[in-house]
Amino acid sequence: MAKAINLSLAGKVAVVTGGASGIGRASALRLAQAGATVLVLDIDADHGEQAAAEIRSQGGAAEFLACDVTSAEDCRRAAQFARERFGRVDVLFNNAGVIRRKSVVDLSEDEWDLVLGVGLKSVFLVSKHMLPLMAETGGGSVINAGSGWGLTGGPNAAAYCAAKGGVVNLTRAMAIDHGPQGIRVNCVCPGDTDTPMLRDEARQLGIAVDAFLAESAARPLPRLGQPSDIGDAVLFLASDLAQWVTGAILAVDGGGTAG
């Protein structure tokens, strides 16, 4: 008889950064639906509490902790909270990110620092403090949020492309370093996904939101991504179905980067 397919995360603890909205929120919900206890981290306390409450309302287990993922102290404190509250971390989704749609000429230094801090430095800081806890219990799965623009360039998004390109190669380096500890590290690269951040891009560029979303849907599978599309990929990478997958860069973009 064939081995049963196992997507269950029962008994496991998952940490999701940027979990208050968009892809982070959908992924936190998907991980909880698979049985994980989820710790939602976000700087947005109101929406973060709502995300955790949504999971609980559906019968899952979740808590929210306010966390500025660009702060070393906040990230240390989040790991300590996970240790004291749950005793383990099995899945980490480094999802937090922001975008400023500007070229290097138009970006301010503060904008560059913000985008690189939230999108790249946070992967370092959160992982630095969570991975030792993960290693103590025999390993686990780290999923880093890249982007299609971490694989190809994009217009008027210099800082974001730099951050996501960094995430892609940081993922490979982490996979090499932490594989011997039983920790798998992979990267999911979404295409344009219907989130508050995507809609904010339209406003930054001065383009009507409907027109911007329609243009963003032009790809071989001709629709916008939904946050749940990315959540499904995160669940796969977190699960035992991906137990020999590490250092992989998975584009989930409807074919947008296919050429």
Task: Give catalytic residue positions.
Answer: 160
Q: Which helix (H) or strand (E) covers residue 143, if one does?
A: strand 140-145
Residues 114-141 as b/e (b if ≥16 CB within 10 A, e otherwise) read: bbbbbbbbbbbbbbebbbebbbeeebbb
Helices 45-57 and 22-33: crossing angle, nearest 10°? 30
The strand pairing partners of 211, in sequence order, are none
End-to-end CA distance of the chain: 41
Dist CA 153 CA 46 (whole Å): 34
